Amino acid sequence: MPTITTTDDVEIYYKDWGSGRPVVFSHGWPLTSDVWDTQMYLMASNGYRAIAHDRRGHGRSSQVWDGHDMDHYADDLAAVLNELEITDAVLVGHSTGGGEVARYLSRHGTSRVKKAVLLAAVPPLMLQTEANPEGLPIEVFDGLRAALAADRSQFYKDLTTAFYGADRAGSTVSQCLRDQFWLMCMQVGLNGALECIRAFSETDFTAELPIIDIPILVGHGDDDQIVPFIDSAPKTVSLLPQGQLKVYPGAPHGLCGAYEQEFNADLLDFVKN
């Protein structure tokens, strides 16, 4: 398997398809790079180089005990870009991966990156605080941790409902897609999955978004039951110097059906133009 080794000796698995301008994908919690296969195939088939990695603790990367925080996630992404000598890239992050991309851009700069996409992403801050009253109470995330620790297999199966909006009238999400989600989740180490909840829910990106000075497409479904729209995309766009908001009416958190097709078209157009 192709891997790179970080400065703290973590092996990060990556896949690298096609050639041309690089489009680099960061996945959400608690998944793997395989969730991006459709978008990677789209990019590689249209003359781009598609790259995605498994986050530390996830999939085929090392299941280490430490380093499950946004700084390490961003540094791991930097290690991949540096090792592969990536320049002129478009970064694409979904959910937790959106936080990873934002932290990379604020922590490592934009010398290797020209544009970015934040899809259903966790910035600016998911947790409810005095400064962020629209956020989710800490009890929501404590509940996730408790359910995950008690029976992770059942937890992941149940999570597919909200993730893909399978509980909404007219949902066409397939059982196979939900099974695929479960399978990817089961490749994640328990400690990495638990610690990642803290990383995606409690990391505050508010101060760093204004210093990210490249064009960024911020896409979000307005029926997202995982990362609520009201506390994410509009606030993120208001903080970014070059943010562009795309709302997907009625769309859930996870890509599926017509939502995925529309996003794919938007992604290809954004990369091309």
Catalytic residues: 95, 224, 253
* Residue 255 burial (C-beta neighbours within 10 Å; 0-12, 13-18, 19+): buried
Contacts of 108 (CB under 8 A, 6+ apart): 74, 75, 78
Report yes or no: 93 and 18 within 8 Å, Cβ to Cβ.
Answer: no
Question: What is the C-alpha separation between 261 and 267, in angstroms, rounded?
Answer: 10
Cα radius of gyration rounded to whole Å, the chain: 17
CA-to-CA separations, 256 to 31, 108, 122, 173, 262, in angstroms, rounded? 15, 32, 19, 7, 10
The residues with which 247 forms a beta bridge, in sequence order, are 220
- State yes or no: cis peptide before 30, omega within 30 of 0: yes
Angle between helices 37-45 and 257-272 (to 10 degrees): 40
CB 35 within 8 A of CB 102: no
